Amino acid sequence: MKKLFLLSILFSLSHSFTFGQQRIGIDITAKPQSVNLTVHYQKIIKKNVLFSIGVFGGSNGKKYIDNDTLLLNFGKKIASPFSNANRTLTDTLTSFDLLNYSLRSKSIGIQFGIGYFYEFGVKHGIRANLNLKVSFAESQMRAFYWSIEKRIGIFEDYTQNYFIAAVSPELYHTIRVSGRITLNYGIKVPYFFSLDKSIFNPVDKRDLLYRFEPEFNIGITRVIGKCE
């Protein structure tokens, strides 16, 4: 009896996954000095519940982290997100410690998650998603090192590759244009965290790809296959 019950549940789930409505979508996500493009697939797996998977890529923006020389004067060293840049440079005359740095980053990745949608009528609705995003990022950093003794500075450039992830709650207003096409706009609030802190470990709230970074999103989806 238990086997029959489990088989009936599996059959119901497979039936729902096989015949649920399917959509393909394109989103443009933006925040200051950053634009990303996402292509995703959605499938309704239960009434008002959907599964999605997608790929994304683009710029993650630019940041300049400006610190005060008084910090170094009082023995407080600055930490960038990259361990190989958090070092003291020395030559035959003096030593230099990290003071300021600028960052710019880009990434590509995959995402998957679940969502819930509700339609107020024929045209308008809302959709909430919770996505897990994993990406491969490349960041370029220009670091400025300062010598307290000589009161002079030098620049060093770094390029770093690393993996990063984010949990992204999202909320959209949906507008149905036709039986197959729906527009949407809303916000994403991804929370970023490093997958390898030995390479990328931000500690300053001003850093890129660190904790919450709200984004504005606009996109379009289209029903593929049978239109239900």
Place of tokens 């440079």: 89
Place of tokens 């039936």: 15
**Chain segment 164-211, per-residue pLDDT in tens:** 999 999 999 999 999 899 999 999 999 999 999 999 999 998 999 999
Q: Which of 19, 88, 9 is nearest to 47 (CA)?
A: 19
Q: What is d(CA 36, CA 72) in angstroms, rounded to the nearest whole number?
A: 37
1-15, 24-38, 122-136, range with the lowest pLDDT: 1-15
In terms of pLDDT, which residue wins out, 75 or 216? 216
| pLDDT over 60 (residue 18) | no
Residues 6+ apart with CB under 8 A from 68: none
Highest mean pLDDT among 9-18, 91-100, 133-142: 133-142
Q: Please, which pLDDT band fits residue 213 given cuts at 50, 70 and 90?
A: very high
| pLDDT over 80 (residue 17) | no
Place of tokens 């149905």: 176
CB of 160 within 8 A of CB of 138? yes
**Chain segment 78-118, per-residue pLDDT in tens:** 899 999 999 999 987 899 999 999 999 999 999 999 999 99
Q: How confident is the model over 11-38, as a mean pLDDT?
A: 77
Please identify, in words, the CATH class of the domain defined by 2-224.
Answer: mainly beta
**Chain segment 47-63, per-residue pLDDT in tens:** 899 999 999 999 999 99
14-18, 23-27, 51-55, 101-105, range with the lowest pLDDT: 14-18
- The residues spanned by each domain of the chain are 2-224
Instruction: Supply the pLDDT for residue 5.
Output: 38
Instruction: Supply the pLDDT for residue 226.
Output: 67
Instruction: Supply the pLDDT for residue 166.
Output: 98
